[in-house]
Amino acid sequence: MSNESGSGRDSEFAMVPLSFDESEKVMPESYSLEVPTGPIGSLYRCLDFLEYVTVGARGKFIKFGTTGLFGSVLFDPETGQVVESGRGIESVRVVNTTLECFSLCVRGVMRMYPFIVNESHDWEAVGDEVEVLVRRIDPEAYEVPNNLWYEFKWSIVSEEWA
């Protein structure tokens, strides 16, 4: 539990332009994405450089972050969506419908973090706040079964963020 106030933490939110490492010759060197720096615990961390990855038959994606121990946060250049995939997984799951929506969700969660739990505000309430935030910003993405934000909400409710 934390007694710190989550308000005012927005000053820690920042965006960073990432480009491909000079050794990466797959994409034009001028290609870049502006992504949130994070981090939010193990939920999201941005990389130092963009990476080109292939996920099964779905094709090529641009990796700009990680989630959990082995998960990847990817940009789909064909659809503009942010998706997630894990080690050994041959598919992707939508996280947000756009990179802008992803950035707004990260910003909103960073404003709440560290999460405050007290007599009048329990873990379920914190999880519900995350759900309301994501549904307000990107309702279509939250409807994707078991996506990053859905799983994050339930990890909060189950007190994994205590």
Mean pLDDT computed over 121-140: 95
- Report, as an integer, the average pLDDT of 66-94: 91
Q: What is the pTM of this model?
A: 0.87
Neighbours of 139 (CB within 10 A): 11
Band (25; pLDDT cuts 50, 70, 90): low
**Secondary structure of residue 13 in the 3-state scheme:** coil
More confidently predicted of 149 and 1: 149
Per-residue confidence (pLDDT) for residue 22, from 0 to 100: 75
Residue 138 pLDDT > 90: yes
CB-based burial of residue 14 (10 Å sphere; 0-12 exposed, 13-18 middle, 19+ buried)? exposed
CA neighbor of 128 nearest in space, from 136, 53, 94:
136
Domain positions in the chain are 9-157
Confidence of residue 6 (pLDDT cuts 50, 70, 90): very low
pLDDT digits (tens, 9 = 90+) for 27-57: 555 678 999 998 998 899 999 999 999 998 7
- 120 pLDDT above the threshold of 60: yes
What is the rounded CA–CA span in Å between residue 74 and residue 35?
11
pLDDT in tens, 94-116: 999 999 999 999 999 999 988 88
Whose tokens are 């939110």? That residue is 13
Question: Rounded distance, CA 138 to CA 97, Å?
Answer: 7
pLDDT of residue 50: 94
Element (H, E) at 129: helix 123-137
CB atoms under 10 Å from CB of 136, counted, come to: 12
**Is pLDDT of 5 > 70?**
no
pLDDT at 156: 94
pLDDT (0 to 100) of residue 109 = 95
Please provide the average confidence, as pLDDT, over all residues in the chain.
87
> Edge-to-edge strands of the sheet including 93-96?
45-55, 59-67, 71-75, 82-86, 93-96
- In this predicted structure, the answer to whether residue 78 has a pLDDT above a threshold of 80 is yes
In contact, 59 and 75? CB cutoff 8 Å: no
**149 Cβ contact partners less than 8 Å away, ≥ 6 residues apart:** 95, 96, 105, 130, 131, 134, 141, 142
